[in-house]
C-alpha cells in the first residue's frame, strides 16, 4: 500500500502567498510608472514646490534658510500625494472597473493585495525621499540640524503613510471613483495649505490654526521637522496624533471598504 501524501506544511503554503504578493507589488509599481498623472502628483509637484519656495523666499518660515523649513514639509507632501491621492484614486478606479473583484477570485488573498499596495507605496516614498533630500543637499546645501533623530523621521513617515493610506482606502472603498478623484484632490490642496508644509501654522487665522493643528498633515510635517533637526521640541504629542489618525482611518477603511 502506498503511503498517503503528507499535508503541505504551513511554510510551504505561505510561500506562494508571499510570491504572489511580491509579484503584485511589482505590477502596482509598473502601473504607477505608466500613469502620467501619478508621476505628476508624486514626483513633479513635490520637487517643484521644494525648488521654487527654497529659491524664492516669499514666506517667512522663522529659520535661517527656507530649505530647513521646507524640506520636512515637502516630504510630508510626498507622503500625502502617494498614500492618499495616488493610492486612493487608483484603487477607486480599480473597484469601479471590476479589477478588484477579479483579483478577489485569484490565488492572491485580499490581505496580500493590500500588502502589495502598501509595499508599492513605501517603495515610491523611498524614491521620493532620496530625490528630495538629494535636491535639498546638492541644490541648497541642506544638512540635518543639531539634535536630528532619523529614527523619529522614519517613524513619522511610516505612521503618516498609515494615516493617509487609511484615508485614501476609506474613500476608495466607500465612494464612487469620480467622487474619490474630486475628494482626494481637494484634500491634497487643503492639506497643502493647512498642513504646515509651505506656510507656518502661526501665519494662519486663529480658527484655521486650531483646525490645522489637529490634522495629520501638520502632525507629520512637525514631527519631520523635529526629527530632521529643523525645529526644537518634543515629538510625543504629534506622533500620538499621527498614530490615532492612522488607527482610526485604517479601522474605518476596513469596516466600510467594498470590493465591488
The mean pLDDT value of the chain amounts to 86
Contact by Cβ (8 Å): 230, 63: yes
pLDDT value at position 62?
A: 62
Distance CA 191, CA 160 (A): 13
Percent of the chain past pLDDT 90, that is, above it, reads 53
pLDDT value at position 66?
A: 86
Distance CA 252, CA 234 (A): 29
Q: Which of 119-123, 146-150, 207-211 has the lowest mean pLDDT?
A: 146-150
Distance CA 205, CA 249 (A): 27
Summary count for the chain: helices (H), strands (E): 12, 0
Sign of CA dihedral 249, 223, 63, 139: negative
pLDDT digits (tens, 9 = 90+) for 135-191: 999 999 999 988 889 999 999 999 999 999 999 999 998 999 999 999 999 999 999
pLDDT digits (tens, 9 = 90+) for 49-65: 999 988 887 666 666 78
Contact by Cβ (8 Å): 228, 145: yes
Contact by Cβ (8 Å): 187, 107: no
Question: What is the C-alpha radius of gyration for the chain, rounded to an integer number of angstroms?
Answer: 20
For the chain, the domains span 15-256
Task: Report which of 131, 133, 128, 125 is spatially closest to residue 165, judged by C-alpha positions.
Answer: 125
pLDDT of 13 strictly over 70: no
Distance CA 34, CA 26 (A): 13
pLDDT value at position 190?
A: 94
pLDDT digits (tens, 9 = 90+) for 15-57: 567 787 888 888 888 888 887 777 788 888 999 999 998 888 7
Contact by Cβ (8 Å): 29, 118: no
Question: Three cell numbers at 201?
Answer: 501654522
Question: Three cell numbers at 245?
Answer: 489618525
pLDDT value at position 12?
A: 43
Contact by Cβ (8 Å): 175, 260: no
Amino acid at each position: 500500500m502506498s503511503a498517503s501524501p503528507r499535508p503541505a506544511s504551513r511554510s510551504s503554503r505561505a510561500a506562494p502567498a508571499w510570491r504572489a504578493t511580491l509579484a503584485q507589488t511589482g505590477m502596482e509599481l509598473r502601473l504607477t510608472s505608466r500613469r502620467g498623472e501619478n508621476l505628476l502628483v508624486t514626483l513633479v509637484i513635490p520637487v517643484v514646490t521644494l525648488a521654487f519656495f527654497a529659491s524664492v523666499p516669499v514666506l517667512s518660515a522663522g529659520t535661517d534658510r527656507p530649505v530647513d523649513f521646507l524640506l520636512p514639509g515637502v516630504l510630508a507632501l510626498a507622503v500625502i500625494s502617494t498614500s492618499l491621492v495616488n493610492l486612493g484614486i487608483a484603487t477607486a478606479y480599480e473597484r469601479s472597473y471590476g479589477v478588484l473583484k477579479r483579483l478577489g477570485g485569484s490565488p492572491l488573498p485580499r490581505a496580500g493585495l493590500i500588502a502589495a499596495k502598501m509595499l508599492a507605496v513605501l517603495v515610491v516614498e523611498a524614491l521620493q525621499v532620496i530625490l528630495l533630500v538629494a535636491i535639498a543637499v546638492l541644490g541648497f546645501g541642506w544638512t540635518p540640524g543639531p539634535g536630528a533623530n532619523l529614527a523619529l523621521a522614519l517613524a513619522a513617515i511610516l505612521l503618516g503613510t498609515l494615516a493617509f493610506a487609511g484615508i485614501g482606502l476609506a474613500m476608495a472603498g466607500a465612494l464612487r471613483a469620480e467622487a474619490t478623484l474630486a475628494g482626494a484632490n481637494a484634500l491634497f490642496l487643503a492639506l497643502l495649505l493647512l498642513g504646515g508644509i509651505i506656510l507656518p501654522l502661526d501665519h494662519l487665522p486663529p480658527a484655521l490654526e486650531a483646525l490645522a493643528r489637529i490634522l495629520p498633515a501638520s502632525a507629520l510635517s512637525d514631527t519631520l521637522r523635529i526629527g530632521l533637526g529643523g525645529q526644537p521640541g518634543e515629538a510625543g504629542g504629534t506622533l500620538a496624533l499621527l498614530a490615532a489618525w492612522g488607527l482610526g482611518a485604517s479601522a474605518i477603511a476596513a469596516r466600510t471598504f467594498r470590493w465591488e
